[in-house]
Structure 1
Amino acid sequence: MPTHDDVDAFLTATLVGADPDGDAALAAQHAAGMPAIEVAPVNAKFLHLLARIAGARRVLEIGTLGGYSTLWLARAVPADGRVVTIEAEPANAAIARSSLERAGVADRVEILLGRGTDVLPTLDGGEPFDLVFVDADKESNTVYLDWAARLGRPGTVVVLDNVVRGGDVADAQTDDPKVRGARRGIEMLGEDPRFDATALQTLDRKGWDGVALAIVVDATASVPTSGAAGH
């Protein structure tokens, strides 16, 4: 009986295929001792296709890690497009920058160093982003979602990763801060009038998790007091 790992391998081989630059980025990340928490290849391709479907020219990524998802997003924007990615750890950013240069897409990417909660306010007032991918510390999910709406526009696509946490997101009594952050993010997407959202469970080489997908419907709507403040 095939397992979910077998299915993931089949889907990756068939729909993603050979990816030397992606493989090199992952190898560099793992050699540097970073945790293997990057998106799976099929999920990276999903992000890539979402950006293309949205016609995204400006993409914001919160959480660079080793640059694997950044690479896929950079491939999705046009040659004059821009991916702005935020990374708290300088060593991670250096690895990501090297991988992006190796893949020939570094000219489309700007890596901003610092915690997302510190860097995001510096982007206020700029050209809105067409897609925002949130994949950083889960405890700050509501803060990141708030900024996704502020820095977006009606029609901006927002992707929130790791929302199922092996099923633990359904546990209202959990005291795990990452799970609590995932729950608050989902609750915010359901309550905040700036978003229209859904979520899907995923099962791949990284196990049981999920992703929330939202669109900004009104970036200026009044925010519930339990929304962005729920951090």
Structure 2
Amino acid sequence: MSRLLVVDDDLRSARVIAELLRRSGYSVDVAGGGAEALERVRSEPPDLMVLDYEMPGVDGETVLEELRAPDGSTEFPVLILTGGRVEAADEAYSFEIGAVDYVRKGGDTAVLVSRIGAAIRRHRPSSSYLRRGRLLVDTVDDRAWLGGRELRLEHRPLQVLKYLMQKNGAIVDKTELLERFWGSGYAGLAHSVEQAVWAIRKELGEPGWIETVHRRGYRLATPG
């Protein structure tokens, strides 16, 4: 689960944003100003910072300048929140010193969540993703997409899909899946695996991704 830090001197606004992001599957901390934010990231850097630009004292610009490495990058992506009074020159400068995106306060919350997700994916090492054709799995946040459409899978079906992708087309025995994701106490309940595979196939909505190998198990394929 990705960890976010929301920085805003308006704590009521920060908590509203934090709750929205928690409902979207993120772990979220809140800092009530720039100085507190810098203190927090020195001990435990987040995966992304949502930073209010206009704050008294240590403002958003100062935070960005403190976080910036010599090459102009930051250790983690920083998304700027603004109330709309920021000049275009300030907005441009924030990109120059490390911000990855800009979102206006009071805008569409779905846009905010989408931009945060996109920023994290761009910044994350490619090794944390599994890809097979149009199918993509994020092994850190346990999310999956087919051709850009996010798959809505419960925990165990998603783990089965991820494991099949890790096996890269090799046949995986039903018993192996059962013991790995349900535990030895489920021995003999092979229909649990079958139900998980059925859920994956249903959500994919396209035939040919998961092949059943008679009397053995399943393998991940790539439809032609």
TM-score, normalised on structure 2?
0.35
Q: Larger RCO: Structure 1 or Structure 2 (Cα < 8 Å, ≥ 6 residues apart)?
A: 1
| Higher Cα Rg, which structure | 2
